[in-house]
Amino acid sequence: MSASILILNGPNLNLLGTRQPEVYGTTTLKDIEDMCEAHGASLGVSVTCVQSNHEGALVDAIHAAKGTHAGIVLNAGAYTHTSIALMDAIASVELPVIELHLSNIHAREKFRHTSYIAPVAIGQICGFGSLGYRMAIDAMVHHIG
Ligand code: CA2
C-alpha cells in the first residue's frame, strides 16, 4: 500500500484566487489540491486534501491523521501565529509536519513572524506561492522515505 500525505489548509484559504491576488496569487484552492493529488500520484504517494476555517476541526484532522497518514503538510493560515492548540495537537500525534505558507511570512507584518507551528514542524516552506505545496510534497516524500 502506498504512503499517504495529508494536505491541511486553514482559515480563509478557501478564498484563494478570488481576492488579494497581489498577495496570494490567482490560483484557487481547488487548483492547488488537484496539483497536489497529481504530483503525489507521480511520486507514488496518495494525497488527501482537507480545508477548514475552524481551529477545532483542524485539531481533529491532525488527531485523525495518526494511523492514516505518514505526514502532514500544514498551511494553518492565521492560526499559525496564535494557536497553541494546533501546536499541542502536532506534538501529540508525533507525525512529521511541514509548515507551509504561500507568502513569505518573515517579510510581512511583525505578528506574522511568530509561528506556533515552527517548533513542532520538521521544516518550513514559505514565499513560493502555490509551488510551495509541490516543494513540501517532495520534502515529505524524501523525509518518509
Ligand atoms: O501565506 C500564507 O499562506 C498564510 O498562511 C496565509 C494566511 C495568513 O494569515 C498567514 O499569515 C500566511 C491568510 C490566508 C488568507 O487567504 C486569503 C486568500 C484569498 C483572499 C483572502 C485571504
The string of pLDDT tens digits covering residues 10-42 is: 999 999 998 888 888 889 999 999 999 999 999
Contact 6, 61 (CB under 8 A): yes
Any idea which residue has 507521480 for its cell? Answer: 42
Closest CA to 102 of 125, 122, 83: 125
Hey, is 76 helix, strand or coil?
coil
Closest CA to 73 of 36, 109, 25, 42: 36
Q: What is the per-residue pLDDT for 65?
A: 98
Contact 52, 26 (CB under 8 A): no
CA–CA gap between residue 1 and residue 5 (Å, rounded): 13
Catalytic residue among 39, 69, 101, 116: 101
The string of pLDDT tens digits covering residues 103-119 is: 999 999 999 999 999 99
The verdict on whether 81 is a catalytic residue reads: no
The verdict on whether 24 is a catalytic residue reads: yes
What's the gap in Å between 127 CA and the centre of ligand 1? 12
